[in-house]
Structures are given as C-alpha cells and as structure tokens.
C-alpha cells in the first residue's frame, strides 16, 4: 500500500534527495528518472487522486496540483510521471467496475505504471478527429494498426491509454470541435455546444504494453531538446482484449476531453512551480553577484524583469486555483483551465528568461541548472495544447467571435 501523502513539506523533503546533480546527469544521458518516480510512487504522491477504496489517497485535484508544483519548484522534473495523475482520470470516470478493480489498486501500489497516453499522430496534429490509427473488432478482441507520435514515457509504462478509430470519420460542418482545445467538461459534448459528429467513432482502450511489445507494438525513442522520454509508437496488428475498451465504443473522444481540463490545470501548476524556482534563483543571485562594486540586484534593469515575472506568476497562480476550485465543484471550467495553462506557461517562460538574463554567462552553464529548466519549461507553450489553440478557444467560445478554422 502506498504511504499517506504528507503535504507540501513532504514533497519538499522527498525532492531534497534528488538535487540538481541527479537531474543534470539524467539530462545529459537523456535517461529516465526511475529512482525519483519510484520514490514518488512509494510516498503515495502519484496515487493522490485514486480513491481510498482502490489504495490511493482520494485527494482532490488541488492536492495533485500542489504536489506537481512543489516538484518543479524544487528544481526537479515531474514530466517523468505527471501523466499518471491525469490519465488515470479517464479510467476512474469512464472505466467499468471490473477495470477499476483490476487496474487501480495496482497503479496505486506502483505494481503497474499507467504513464503513456497515445493520442497525437504525425499526420493529424492537434486535429484529433483526423487520427488514422484504427481498431477493428475481431471476435473478443480489437486489432489495432497505425502510429502515434510524442507518446511520452511509453518505454517506462506498463499500460497505455490509447485513442483509436473504431468507425470511419463522418464529415460535419458548423461549430463542432474536432480538436482538443474544447471545454472537456465531460458532459458528452466536445465543445460544450453540441454533439460532434467528426469525433464520433473514436474509442479509448487500456493497452497492456508488456504483452503488446511481444506482438506487434514497436516503440522508438525521439531525442528532444529536453529530457522527456518521448517516443513514436507503431501498431502492427496489435490485439487488445475487448474487455479493455473504456466506456462505450465510439464515444472515446469525450472521455479524453473530460480529462483535459485536469491535465491543463496540473501542467499549469507545474509551470507555477517552475516560475517560482526561476524567480527564487534569480532574486538570490541578483543580491549576491557584485559587478561595478555593487550587487547587480541594485540596478532596476535587473530587478524589474524579476519583479514583473513574479507578478505574472502570482496572477497565473490565482487562475490555476480558480480553475481547480471549479473543477472540484464539478462546474464548467474549460475556459479557466485553458487560461490557467496559457498564463502559467507564459509566467514560467518570462521567469526563465529573467533568470537566464540575471545570471549573465552563468545562466548558460549546465551546473547552474537554469538552462536545463529553461529547456524543460519551453515545452508548455506547445504541449499538451499549444498557445494558439487556447487563444482560438477563448476567442470563439468565450468571446463569441467567428471560428477561425
Ligand atoms: C515533448 C512532447 C511530449 C508530448 N507528449 C505527448 C503525449 O504523451 N501524448 C500525446 O498524445 N501527445 C503528446 N505530445 C503532443 C502534443 O500534445 C502536441 O505536440 C501539441 O498538442 C501540438 O500538436 P502538434 O505538435 O501536432 O502541432 P500542430 O497541430 O501541427 O500545430 C503546429 C503549430 O501550428 C499552430 N496551429 C495549428 N493549427 C492552428 C490554428 N488553426 N490556428 C492557429 N495556430 C494553429 C499550433 O499552435 C502550433 O504552434 C507531446 C509533444 C511533445 C513535443
């Protein structure tokens, strides 16, 4: 059984065992933070959202957000394991009793890792309704063929939550959303306005990759600018037992969307943690570094970008809290989750920029960890949803402007 989660202090204590040197070594080898993930699992952090009856802590989303924020704030990188927190939501909300009984206790104990989320494909990009990976029913199995890209942690996960087409895409015009920017409130509507036709026919499966890797599943790592254990995954007649279909066949897109608000809020919390790390580091260095006989932090040209990043971070933090509170109250929070992700990603990027600039040349030296964190936090302008797509969601769905695509 997992140990109980013990608040922000507990996360800080755990992170203290994984200093910059640990992450630096992994970064240069592009190696997976196995020891960190093991420790976070054993401490019960990765099962924070799993109900107590299944061996987790049954905590609300804001607690998971606090855990991820603290991990980033300590200079660690939660990207090796954060997905388990939001992927598991689809199983929790839409899985049947047997699936929950079979998987959740094992995920909570760390015996099974559910870290891989197979949605994005090379040819469809953000337009998820255009994915080409297909799953055909064959007796008591589905047979999967196709390809995913950017499937992070696939090599370090036992299970994958997989989105595949089980019926051909239907053409639909009008205000339906075939992309992933939508509200994701879990109300069965892709955009909060009407039933989507383009997204019908997509289904979600729990894929046991341990078996599949022996029979048609190939995983190829992609080396990226930061250490993210991301991959491309190929399916060649991979068989999945029909009992591993999550929810109803053809309704999978709305199950995926329903987890996206949680994902955005949690990633936003990570960005807040990154911003706090950058700001603390920059403010401290500005007070210590003496040039022209005085600390550089006495110059307003050095102070102001750090102070501005701090104000940006605090504003974004309020939006993250607002989004999490709405989510926990079961209220619509698509706009707030999107804005939280947008503002927090911008705040962490501004804080990173201020931190590099404050450090002058040393900002580029690996041993300061700044350039590593800078590369890591850049991702969140693009993934899991890019800034433009959030802006177009706000323009169309909050402000009522015409759909741009
Ligand atoms: C390191 C990494 C890890 C990832 N992990 C996962 C994962 O585990 N699982 C998973 O499924 N996916 C994952 N992703 C994929 C990620 O969610 C996508 O990269 C992201 O959603 C953007 O999609 P895309 O790369 O296909 O960009 P595209 O959709 O090709 O877009 C390219 C650019 O064009 C812009 N754009 C596109 N359409 C419009 C428009 N209509 N208006 C304005 N601008 C537009 C976008 O904003 C973007 O800047 C990961 C990606 C990376 C880089």
Q: Across residues 158-178, what is the average pLDDT?
A: 77
* pLDDT per position as a tens digit, 306-316: 999 999 999 99
Determine the atom of ligand 1 nearest the C-alpha atom of 222.
1
* pLDDT per position as a tens digit, 73-120: 999 999 999 998 988 889 999 999 999 999 999 999 999 999 999 999
pTM of structure = 0.95
- Pick from 253, 257, 213: which is nearest to 235 by CA? 213
Q: Is the pLDDT of residue 405 over 90?
A: no
Q: Report the pLDDT value the prediction gives residue 359, as an integer from 0 to 100.
A: 98
Length of the chain: 405
The band of 2, judged by pLDDT with boundaries at 50, 70 and 90, is very low
Q: How far is the CA of 139 from the centre of ligand 1 (A)?
A: 35
Among the ranges given (139-143, 172-176, 220-224), the one the predictor scored with the smallest mean pLDDT = 172-176
Q: Is the pLDDT of residue 176 over 70?
A: no
Q: Report the pLDDT value the prediction gives residue 258, as an integer from 0 to 100.
A: 77
Relative to beta strand 141-149, strand 217-221 is unpaired
* pLDDT per position as a tens digit, 191-232: 434 445 788 999 999 999 999 999 999 999 999 999 999 999
Q: Is the pLDDT of residue 177 over 70?
A: no
Element (H, E) at 277: helix 252-288
Determine the atom of ligand 1 nearest the C-alpha atom of 391.
43
Express as a percent the part of the chain with pLDDT over 90: 88
- Ligand 1, residues at Cβ distance < 6 Å: 117-120, 125-126, 150-152, 224, 228, 230, 379, 382-386, 388-389, 392, 404-405
Alpha helix stretches (DSSP H) within 203-251: 209-212
Relative to beta strand 114-118, strand 159-165 is parallel
- Pick from 380, 335, 356: which is nearest to 79 by CA? 380
Q: Is the pLDDT of residue 36 over 80?
A: yes
Under 8 Å between Cβ of 27 and 368 = no
* pLDDT per position as a tens digit, 311-369: 999 999 999 999 999 999 999 999 999 999 999 999 999 999 999 999 999 999 999 99
Ligand 1 pocket test: which of 82, 117, 125, 184 has the largest number of ligand atoms within 8 Å of its C-beta?
125
Rg (CA), the chain: 21
Q: Report the pLDDT value the prediction gives residue 190, as an integer from 0 to 100.
A: 35
Q: Is the pLDDT of residue 188 over 60?
A: no
Q: Is the pLDDT of residue 39 over 70?
A: yes
Record the tokens describing residue 312, joined without a space: 């940006």
Q: Is the pLDDT of residue 26 over 90?
A: yes
């Amino acid at each position: 059984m997992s140990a109980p989660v013990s608040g922000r202090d507990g996360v800080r204590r755990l992170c203290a065992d994984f200093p910059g040197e640990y992450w630096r070594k992994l970064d240069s080898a592009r190696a997976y933070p196995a020891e960190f993930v093991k420790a976070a699992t054993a401490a019960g952090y990765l099962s924070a959202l799993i109900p107590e009856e299944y061996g987790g802590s049954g905590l609300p989303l804001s607690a998971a957000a606090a855990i991820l924020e603290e991990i980033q704030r300590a200079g660690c990188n939660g990207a090796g394991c954060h997905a388990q927190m939001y992927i598991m939501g689809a199983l929790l909300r839409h899985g049947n009793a047997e699936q929950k009984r079979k998987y959740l206790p094992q995920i909570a104990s760390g015996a099974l890792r559910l870290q891989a989320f197979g949605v994005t494909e090379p040819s469809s990009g953000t337009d998820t309704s255009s994915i080409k990976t297909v799953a055909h029913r064959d007796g008591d199995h589905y047979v999967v063929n196709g390809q995913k890209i950017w499937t992070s942690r696939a090599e370090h996960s036992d299970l994958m939550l997989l989105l595949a087409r089980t019926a051909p895409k239907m053409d639909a015009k009008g205000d339906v959303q075939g992309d992933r920017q939508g509200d994701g409130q879990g109300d069965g509507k892709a955009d909060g306005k009407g039933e989507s036709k383009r997204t019908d026919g997509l289904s979600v499966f729990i894929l046991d990759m341990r078996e599949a890797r022996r029979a048609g599943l190939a995983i190829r790592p992609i080396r990226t600018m930061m250490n993210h254990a991301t991959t491309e995954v190929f399916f060649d007649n991979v068989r999945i037992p029909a009992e591993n279909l999550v929810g109803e066949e053809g309704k999978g897109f709305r199950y995926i969307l329903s987890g996206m608000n949680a994902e955005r809020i949690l990633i936003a919390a990570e960005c807040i943690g990154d911003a706090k790390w950058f700001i603390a580091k920059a403010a401290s260095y500005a007070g210590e570094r003496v040039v022209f006989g005085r600390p550089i932090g006495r110059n307003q040209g050095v102070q102001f970008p750090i102070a501005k990043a701090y104000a940006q971070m605090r504003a974004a933090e309020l939006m993250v809290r607002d989004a999490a509170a709405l989510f926990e109250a079961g209220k619509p929070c698509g706009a707030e989750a999107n804005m939280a992700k947008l503002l927090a990603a911008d705040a962490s990027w501004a804080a990173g920029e201020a931190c590099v600039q404050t450090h002058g040349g040393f900002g580029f030296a690996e041993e300061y960890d700044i350039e590593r964190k800078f590369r890591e936090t850049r991702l969140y302008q693009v993934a899991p949803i890019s800034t433009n797509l959030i802006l177009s969601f706000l323009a169309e769905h909050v402000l009522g402007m015409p759909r741009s695509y």
